[in-house]
Amino acid sequence: MQAQAKARMRDQAERRAAAEADRLTAEGVHGIALTWVDNAGITRVKTVPTGRLAHTARWGVGMSPVFDVYLVDDSMTTSRHVGGPDGDLRLFPDLDRLTVLAAQPGWAWAPVDRCYQTDEPYPVCQRLFAARMTERAAARGLRLRMGFETEWVVARADTEGPDLRCPGTGPAYGMARLVELSAYLGEVRDALLAEQVDVLQLHPEYARGQFEVSTAAADPVGAADLAVLVRETIRAVSARHGLVALFAPVVEPGAVGNGRHLHLSPWQEDRNLCQGGDGPFGMASTCEAFLAGVLRELPALLAIGAPSPASHLRLEPSRWAGAFQCWGLENREAALRFITGSPQDPAAANAEVKCFDGAANPYLVVGSVIAAGLAGIDDSLRLPEPVSGDPAEQGAHPRLPTSPQESSQHFERSAVLREALGEPLFEAVAAVRRAEAELFEDVPPQEVAAATRGRY
């Protein structure tokens, strides 16, 4: 019976993909980019001609599992379960996410799930992990809404060495910067809208050449998919303008870096649990326990959400990066920021994890945050007192790990994340973290930034 069910699913996928391929071909799309994100935070890709989409949906595309132990510089390490030249996987596109790429004429995109040759789910697939944690929450009656902010620095494509050549000179958050690059930013906006991305905001940020785009909340896997699509769209638009988009945590040491903050809200049916309760600032007790679980796990979560040695160059106090393990009401210095929103807009209330950045695999981020939050519910946790003002000036709040070695130690001691990720994925992540920490050990900050700023 199981074999028959799989055969029916293959038939259905093939028929649907064939119809999609006909539609795409009529629109002038002749290639499909199939992406996944590895444990170093790099988006990897294989492409197929549009005419092969039906075959790909039925049988998948081959790919080595060794990419799960690749490092940011494309060298590799090994782990107890993954590593070496052996093995093969199949990449299966999610046809629900199939998107024509507005800034890459002739191309469409779809994220993939990864399976063994036998069709069994590959336990190191980060996207399947995010889906599994989403299902775990749903089994408890919880629906998570999540969304990422994407920050990047735009520089001229001929930028070399330590000198960054930014095309705009306007001040932080200034209209002058928007005017200088209005054609570029307009194309970023229009490309995202053409891809059916719900853009909330697009604006200049603090550092020179820095911008941010925020997109509407989605289901956790959908939010991670959007993080990939948004980044690659920005990258493509930048290239069309003779520019390069830099998403790394730190582009220039000593300057404000790029975050990729995660916004989240737990829901029960149509009720946002960030509102209407008896907990702090009106949150329901389930929401408070969920956020307390995330706060408790932040030192270990840093190895997921701020994983690069460059991440720790960004996590400096008094830069709105969230360098301390504390929370507060609309406090941009707290690692966990609670936002009540407007009472007239129940969907607006949410929490923001500020210490995460663009070196992270977004599927690992959403899945791990859900796991931490559910553990907080299991343990009936409550939040400590919220922090007002800059925690760096108070001396009473624990600093988050200040090195990749320290965050890796917290990660490897985390029973919550080990259980949620499962041994193969947990060990692969831990191996990559150890290897990247060793790769950049005793390397000056300027060299760390130069080696990583164009990789993500």
Question: What domains sit in the chain, N to C, each tagged with a CATH number?
Answer: 2-122 (3.10.20.70), 133-452 (3.30.590.10)
Place of tokens 């590799």: 76
pLDDT of residue 221: 98
What lies within 8 Å, CB to CB, of 123 at 6+ separation is 81, 422, 424, 425
Tens of pLDDT along the chain (456 residues) come to 577 878 888 899 999 999 999 999 999 999 999 999 999 999 999 999 999 999 999 999 999 999 999 999 999 999 999 998 899 999 999 999 999 999 999 999 999 999 999 889 999 999 999 999 999 999 999 999 999 999 999 999 876 655 678 888 889 999 999 999 999 999 999 999 999 999 999 999 999 999 999 999 999 999 999 999 999 999 999 999 999 999 999 999 999 999 999 999 999 999 999 999 999 999 999 999 999 999 999 999 999 999 999 999 999 999 999 999 999 999 999 999 999 987 778 778 999 999 999 999 999 999 999 999 999 999 999 999 999 999 999 988 999 999 999 999 999 999 999 999 999 999 999 999 999 999 999 999 999 999 999 999
Q: How far is CA 206 from CA 50, 74, 138, 171, 173, in A?
A: 41, 31, 38, 8, 6
**Contact (CB, 8 A) for 157 and 244:** yes
Q: CB 71: neighbour CB atoms within 10 A?
A: 21
**Four-residue CA torsion sign, 191, 195, 196, 202:** negative
Token code pair at residue 302: 């840093």
CA distance 231 to 148: 11
Element (H, E) at 155: strand 143-156
pLDDT of residue 32: 98
Tell me which DSSP letter residue 122 carries. P
What lies within 8 Å, CB to CB, of 167 at 6+ separation is 154, 155, 156, 180, 181, 184, 209, 243
- Name the 3-class secondary structure at 119: coil
- In one letter, which amino acid is 56? T
**Contact (CB, 8 A) for 50 and 21:** yes
Q: How far is CA 8 from CA 13, 19, 69, 157, 227, in A?
A: 9, 17, 34, 49, 32
- Name the 3-class secondary structure at 112: strand
Place of tokens 């998403």: 247
Token code pair at residue 374: 């559910």
Rounded to the nearest 5°, which phi and psi values hold at 264?
A: -150, 155
pLDDT of residue 157: 85
Residue 95: burial class (beta carbons within 10 Å; 0-12, 13-18, 19+): middle
Beta strands 107-116 and 31-37 are parallel
pLDDT of residue 345: 82
Tell me which DSSP letter residue 85 carries. S
**Contact (CB, 8 A) for 228 and 236:** no
The terminus-to-terminus CA distance of the chain in angstroms comes to: 44
Beta strands 262-268 and 143-156 are antiparallel
CA distance 58 to 15: 9
**Contact (CB, 8 A) for 374 and 279:** no
- Name the 3-class secondary structure at 292: helix
**Contact (CB, 8 A) for 353 and 276:** no
Q: Which of 366, 222, 264 is nearest to 305 (CA)?
A: 366
Token code pair at residue 343: 């009472």
**Contact (CB, 8 A) for 266 and 373:** yes
Q: Which of 21, 17, 49 is nearest to 33 (CA)?
A: 49
Q: CB 31: neighbour CB atoms within 10 A?
A: 18
**Contact (CB, 8 A) for 288 and 294:** no
CA distance 146 to 194: 22
CA distance 307 to 295: 17
What lies within 8 Å, CB to CB, of 345 at 6+ separation is none
CA distance 296 to 282: 21
pLDDT of residue 128: 98
Place of tokens 């695999």: 361
Prediction pTM value:
0.97
pLDDT of residue 159: 66
pLDDT of residue 67: 96
CA distance 134 to 366: 9
CA distance 386 to 165: 41
**Contact (CB, 8 A) for 78 and 431:** yes
